[in-house]
Every structure is written in structure tokens, then in C-alpha cells.
């Protein structure tokens, strides 16, 4: 296609689904801080006046999950009845079991180890079967698609102007959306921006539109990408007072496209939040991003998608695929072979390489897990460029 449009969305930290993601990852962080080897699969749901924490957790430490949930909700800004949801007074119930022993015997001791291969990186097997995707492209400095990059930045700015008092009438819930026009493979302009921001009563729509344009859109979106034909929609229904868990129920893992590439790349279907790094849904997705970003950073391709697939209880991936979408002078087959030479994609190796047994997850649970150079996460490093170039020669 010579000309086309692509749209991605993001949500603020006060969106009901993102509240749940942040609680799940805050609980995970607290457990990993005290027991790095814990097995955690923690999910959360929320609705009017209620948080429900559930899942399978095997650990030797105790954490006060109710207190963690309340701290997260209060820190987001739902800390009084006027906000519609109050972390101080809402009910919190927990339903936690231990990890199934049928799963644990494959995770704790990989098939390769059982068969006599005592390599350290064969110690644990994949926590589940499945396929994970990673992606990178040269559209932004952080090598992410432009639409999701701008959507995240708008959502983050929307929360910032609320928290620092620039727009005191805003409330925590919000959504952003950006449509980019492409000419060939190159993004050339912003076609549309949509922002829905929860607000207090008795604030006129005209004031909200003016303030959002001045303090959010104009601060975030480069002027050269906006023209007279760019469409801007702010609170297009005309009113957004009822929001958060009162307006809609929330659930961990329901924003997997927001968490990754905004729909610009494929997704294996597994969510991230609340899962310890033995779950390849999380760790292998980070590894796939790490691989794809280093390929693009090495100028071996302008854009790149990496798929890794696993069998439960087995350390070695069952398949690895690299797709450069015709943007590389090197065949995808050769790129795939180079990846296999340079990167060890067994779960134990991923965990060690990316240092995943640390409490780093709560801050990833809003505004995306990929492209987060602001958090200095290991899978955003481009430290394998020279090794990849050598492997291609």
C-alpha cells in the first residue's frame, strides 16, 4: 500500500483494567522482593466498591495483599468518595491457591534436565505452551510504532496534568487514541487524535477541549505531524463524569494490545501482569522484543517481528522465526540463524540475561511494557548489535 492509516490506543493508570494490572504487578513485586524464586499467577478484578484478588501463588513469604491493593488504588488517585472509587473504604477479597503440582514438576525441572542434560540453563522448563511475539521498527527513537508511542505519551501526560494540579478537575480514568497516515512504510502525519478524560461535574466541554489541546496534545505531539486536516476529538460523547470501576468493571490482562505494540504487530494472546518470569507469556515476550530491537538497531532491518514458541516443561523453544517484512537485504532465514547463534532463549537464560527476578513490574503495568527506555528495563538495551552483525557475516 502506498498510502494507508493505522490507529493505536492507550489508557491511563486510572482505567479499570489498568488498576487491576497494577495491583497484580504490585503484589508480584512484593513477593519477588522477599522470595525471588516464587511462582506467581495473580489476577485482579474490580467493580463498584470491590476488588477481588485471585490466582495461584507458591511462595515462602507472606504479603498483605489487601494493603497493597489499597496503596495502589490510592496512589492512582482513587482516594476519596468524590473520585467514585475509594481505596480506603472499598472491599477487598482474596481467593489464592498454590500452583498446580502438575505444572510445577515441569517448570521446576525441565525435560532436558530429566533426560540428563545438566546445563544450568536447562534447570527450568517453560511455564506453559504458547507463542510470543516481539517487534521493533525505526519510526521512533525507542524503535516503536509511532501510533502507540504517541498514544502512551498522551495518556501519561493526561495523568501528569491531573496529578501536578495543572488540570485539577480531571479524574483518573482516561483513554487516548492516535491515527497515523503512512506513505509507503513511512509515517508522515497525524490523521486523528481522540482523548476521553474523566472529569468533575460542572466543567464545561469547551474548557476541557481547550485545556486538553493546550496542556496535553500540543505538549506531546510534534507540530510538524499536525496539519489543518488533523481531526481532534476530546470527550466526543460530551460528558465523562462516571468512570473508573464505577463506570466499568476491570480485569487483569484485558489490555494486552495496549501493553505491547498497539496492534501493529501480532500478539500470542498471553497477558503479562501478575505473572512471575517462569511464565514465558511474560519473559519470552520481553526476550522477543529484545531480539527484534537489536536487529533493527543494528540496521539489519527497518522493521522486524520475532516469534518464539514453547512446550510446557521444555526449556528449548520449539520454534524461532524472524520476519523483516522485506526491509532487510539479508534473508529472514539468515536472520533467524543469527538469532539462534546470539541469543539463548531458554527460560533460565532469559531470566538471567534480562534480570527478571527483581521487583520491576508495577511501573510497567501502565503506559506499555515495550519501548520503556524511561524505566531502563534490560529488554530495551541494544547491547547485542555487534554480535548480530558478526553472526551474519
In this prediction, residue 209 carries a pLDDT of 97
Cell of 90: 472499598
Q: What is the mean pLDDT of the chain?
A: 93
Please, which pLDDT band fits residue 76 given cuts at 50, 70 and 90? very high
Asked whether the beta carbons of 250 and 51 are under 8 A apart, the reply is no
> pLDDT tens across 6-35, in order?
999 999 999 999 999 999 999 999 999 999
In the numeric block, the cell 510470543 is attached to: 132
Asked whether the beta carbons of 125 and 312 are under 8 A apart, the reply is yes
Distance, CA of 69 to CA of 50 (rounded, Å): 11
> pLDDT tens across 140-173, in order?
999 999 999 999 999 999 999 999 999 999 999 9
In this prediction, residue 91 carries a pLDDT of 97
Q: Please say if the pLDDT value at position 332 is more than 60.
A: yes
Distance, CA of 295 to CA of 303 (rounded, Å): 8
Distance, CA of 30 to CA of 36 (rounded, Å): 10
What is the CB-side half-sphere exposure of residue 323 using CA atoms within 13 A?
A: 10
Instruction: Summarize the confidence of residues 282-301 as an average pLDDT.
Output: 98
Distance, CA of 127 to CA of 343 (rounded, Å): 20
In this prediction, residue 83 carries a pLDDT of 82
How far CA 359 is from CA of 25, 43, 63, in Å, comes to 9, 17, 14
Q: Please say if the pLDDT value at position 392 is more than 60.
A: yes
Distance, CA of 86 to CA of 88 (rounded, Å): 5
> pLDDT tens across 345-364, in order?
999 999 999 999 999 999 99
Asked whether the beta carbons of 93 and 66 are under 8 A apart, the reply is no
Q: Please say if the pLDDT value at position 75 is more than 90.
A: yes
The percent of residues above 70 in pLDDT, for the chain, comes to: 94
Please, which pLDDT band fits residue 310 given cuts at 50, 70 and 90? very high
Instruction: Summarize the confidence of residues 228-241 as an average pLDDT.
Output: 96
Distance, CA of 233 to CA of 236 (rounded, Å): 6
Cell of 136: 521493533
How far CA 382 is from CA of 305, 334, 373, 377, in Å, comes to 16, 20, 11, 11
The percent of residues above 90 in pLDDT, for the chain, comes to: 88
Residues 6+ apart with CB under 8 A from 202: none
Which regions of the chain does DSSP assign to beta strands (E)?
3-11, 39-47, 50-58, 79-80, 85-86, 91-97, 130-137, 170-183, 186-199, 231-234, 250-251, 303-310, 319-323
> pLDDT tens across 89-129, in order?
999 999 998 866 655 555 665 555 565 666 666 577 787 88
pTM confidence score: 0.94
In this prediction, residue 185 carries a pLDDT of 86
Cell of 231: 481531526
Amino acid at each position: 500500500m502506498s498510502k494507508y492509516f493505522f490507529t493505536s490506543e492507550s489508557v491511563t493508570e486510572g482505567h479499570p483494567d489498568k488498576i487491576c494490572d497494577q495491583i497484580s504487578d504490585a503484589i508480584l513485586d512484593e513477593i519477588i522482593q522477599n522470595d525471588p524464586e516464587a511462582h506467581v499467577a495473580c489476577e485482579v478484578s474490580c467493580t463498584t466498591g470491590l476488588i477481588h484478588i485471585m490466582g495461584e501463588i507458591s511462595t515462602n513469604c507472606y504479603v498483605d495483599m489487601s494493603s497493597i491493593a489499597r496503596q495502589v488504588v490510592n496512589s492512582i488517585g482513587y482516594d476519596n468518595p468524590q473520585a467514585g472509587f475509594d481505596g480506603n473504604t472499598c472491599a477487598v477479597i482474596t481467593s489464592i491457591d498454590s500452583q498446580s503440582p502438575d505444572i510445577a514438576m515441569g517448570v521446576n525441572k525441565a525435560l532436558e534436565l530429566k533426560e540428563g542434560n545438566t546445563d544450568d540453563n536447562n534447570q527450568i522448563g517453560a511455564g506453559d505452551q504458547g507463542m510470543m511475539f516481539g517487534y521493533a521498527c525505526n519510526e521512533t527513537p525507542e524503535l516503536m510504532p509511532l501510533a502507540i508511542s504517541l498514544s502512551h505519551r498522551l495518556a501519561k501526560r493526561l495523568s501528569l496534568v491531573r496529578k501536578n494540579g495543572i488540570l485539577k478537575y480531571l479524574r483518573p480514568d482516561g483513554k487516548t487514541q492516535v491515527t497515523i497516515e503512512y506513505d509507503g512504510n513511512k509515517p508522515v502525519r497525524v490523521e486523528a487524535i481522540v482523548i476521553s478524560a474523566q472529569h468533575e461535574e460542572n466543567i464545561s466541554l469547551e474548557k476541557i477541549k481547550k485545556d486538553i489541546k493546550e496542556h496535553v496534545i500540543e505538549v506531546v505531539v510534534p507540530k510538524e505531524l499536525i496539519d489543518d486536516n488533523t481531526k481532534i476529538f476530546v470527550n466526543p460523547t460530551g460528558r465523562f463524569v462516571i468512570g473508573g470501576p464505577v463506570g466499568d468493571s476491570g480485569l487483569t490482562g484485558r489490555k494486552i494490545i495496549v501493553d505491547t505494540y498497539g496492534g501493529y504487530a501480532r500478539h500470542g494472546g498471553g497477558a503479562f501482569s501478575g505473572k512471575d518470569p517462569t511464565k514465558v507469556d511474560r519473559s519470552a515476550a520481553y526476550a522477543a522484543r529484545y531480539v527484534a530491537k537489536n536487529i533493527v538497531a543494528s540496521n539489519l532491518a527497518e522493521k522486524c517481528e520475532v516469534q518464539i514458541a514453547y512446550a510446557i516443561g521444555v526449556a528449548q523453544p520449539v520454534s524461532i522465526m524472524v520476519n523483516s517484512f522485506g526491509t532487510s537485504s539479508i534473508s529472514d532465514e539468515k536472520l533467524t540463524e543469527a538469532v539462534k547463534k546470539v541469543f539463548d532463549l531458554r527460560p533460565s537464560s532469559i531470566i538471567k540475561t534480562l534480570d527478571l527476578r527483581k521487583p520491576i513490574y508495577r511501573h510497567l503495568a501502565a503506559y506499555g511494557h515495550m519501548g520503556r527506555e524511561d524505566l531502563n528495563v534490560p529488554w530495551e538495551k541494544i547491547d547485542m548489535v555487534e554480535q548480530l552483525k558478526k553472526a551474519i557475516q
